[in-house]
Structure 1
């Protein structure tokens, strides 16, 4: 009887264990539902450049190609016009030429050479220079350029550089108000190797009316240039000049005469056997 009871207990225990395992095997781990969040696209913010597009840019081919706005050029002129006028009175160099060269050579003060050494005219060391210097790439790599304490010193050295060298002596025979002749004379004397150097100087003078400072020093009337000026019709030769000739009047230059009659300065010089661009009021110029 006792054995029978033990047998029944053993069976009951086995049945209980089997049902427990069965219930555990049916349980599954809880997995939370995944929620997909969709982000709304955000608008891209753009910066308006309208204010910048309203400003005229200048690409100035100084000793380091410089891009500036026209207001930078105007500020440069405002800063140095008095020095240019003073140098014109003392040394005889047109203020318009001084300022135009400063703009072109220094990038209106924004070029690397002018920033690093206050050299506003691209003057190289040359023989006899004992002042400070810097190395800068120009016609050749790492050329020697003069370094100054301040821009005013550069302006003074520019004037002394032109007046102190015989190669530029012919410039000082030109009229002080004839900026076209001075621009071409600088190139002819070897100041720059760029064949377009005179045209660039003349362009800055006329675009920014730099010749007004020549007029102030000389006590003459000033006629400003305006952009998109209508081309003047070809004038008739003065009655007393004869057919094919033109009589020089106040304010005339070979450059302006060549433009009026659709020819070139070189052609006028050839026709009139002229060695330079110097002309005088009342002179009869052969134009064809």
Structure 2
């Protein structure tokens, strides 16, 4: 009997021990899980973030870098200009271009694009020496002043004007007064592409890429906006005021560039001295030259 009681007690004890084990295991797991949750919570709510390196010398804005980009304009002379020089040129002459569009029917965009290309945005040799912004040669019947300049041939005759506004007006008269350009005026005033191609076809320039160059300037600098302004029925021309301002500017401003010459391909000290009625030795002395070496694009003082 005693043995039976002992066996039953032992079995009950074992059963009791086994029944408590899951409770212990569960407690440990919950404790571990609780600790894990605490650690994760600390990681997620950690306010410390990696240190960011602040660029104290940022790259210039895209628009700023564009302003400083240079390009070489090749027409009657080779001229290197920055984009902001072209923008300034447009701002200075847009009113005259729009006035000419209103009065003569030539798109303002074409006038400005031709001015940029032919004058090197006002920095080319003919623009500086002769206020000639459109590369117009003397041709038969020209009785005004002129200058000699190498173009398709050596020392060709080009028209000279008292101020740029006269050049813009003569450009309009030149196109409207010659039968070979008559076809241009059959195009829409807003169709700058047709005008660009028509100018080349009529013989204004020999460069086969001339239309593409004009169209490129028109589209890069949104010059067609000035065509749209003139075509607006509410447009009022401000041309007279701008012409007067340019005349005053021409009378009162002594530009250092008026007394300089940019060396072109094929130039020699002798040929330049002949252009400006100078002795070779005087030209060398003015420019502190020790020999006869010249480079294209070099600027020489000639007066």
Structure 1 residues 54, 175: CA separation in 2 closer, same or farther (over 3 Å shift)?
A: closer
**Where does residue 71 of structure 1 map in the other structure?**
84
**Where does residue 27 of structure 1 map in the other structure?**
none
Structure 1 residues 129, 54: CA separation in 2 closer, same or farther (over 3 Å shift)?
A: closer
**Where does residue 214 of structure 2 map in the other structure?**
201
Question: Equivalents in 2 of 1:199, 1:141: separation in Å?
Answer: 27
Question: Equivalents in 2 of 1:52, 1:71: separation in Å?
Answer: 10
Mapped contact 2:67–2:82 kept (Cα < 8 A) = no
Write out per-residue CA displacement over residues 232-265 of structure 1, whole angstroms, 9 at most, x where no aligned residue.
Answer: xxxxxxxxxxxxxxxxxxxxxxxxxxxxxxxxxx
What is the Cα deviation at residue 62 of structure 1? 2.5
**Where does residue 145 of structure 2 map in the other structure?**
132
What is the Cα deviation at residue 58 of structure 1? 1.9
> TM-score under structure 2 normalisation?
0.55
Q: Are 1:161 and 2:170 matched, yes or no?
A: no
What is the Cα deviation at residue 123 of structure 1? 0.1
Write out per-residue CA displacement over residues 23-80 of structure 1, whole angstroms, 9 at most, x where no aligned residue.
Answer: xxxxxxxxxxxxxxxxxxxxxxxxxxx9989711121112111000000000000000
**Where does residue 80 of structure 1 map in the other structure?**
93
Q: Secondary structure at the match of 1:67?
A: strand
> TM-score under structure 1 normalisation?
0.58
Q: Secondary structure at the match of 2:136?
A: coil
What is the Cα deviation at residue 219 of structure 1? 1.6
- Superposed, 1:229-240 pairs within 5 Å as none
Question: Equivalents in 1 of 2:176, 2:170: separation in Å?
Answer: 10
Instruction: Point out 4+ residue stretches in structure 1 off by more than 2 angstroms.
Output: 50-54
Higher relative contact order (CA 8 A, sep 6+): 2
Q: Secondary structure at the match of 2:143?
A: coil
Structure 1 residues 143, 214: CA separation in 2 closer, same or farther (over 3 Å shift)?
A: same
Q: Which runs of 5+ in 2 are unaligned?
A: 1-59, 234-303
Q: Secondary structure at the match of 1:77?
A: helix
Structure 1 residues 54, 158: CA separation in 2 closer, same or farther (over 3 Å shift)?
A: closer
**Where does residue 129 of structure 2 map in the other structure?**
116
Q: Secondary structure at the match of 1:134?
A: strand
Question: Equivalents in 2 of 1:56, 1:205: separation in Å?
Answer: 18
Q: Secondary structure at the match of 1:144?
A: strand
Question: Equivalents in 2 of 1:144, 1:129: separation in Å?
Answer: 10
**Where does residue 164 of structure 2 map in the other structure?**
151
Residue in structure 1 matching 2:225, options 191, 199, 212? 212
Q: Secondary structure at the match of 2:218?
A: helix
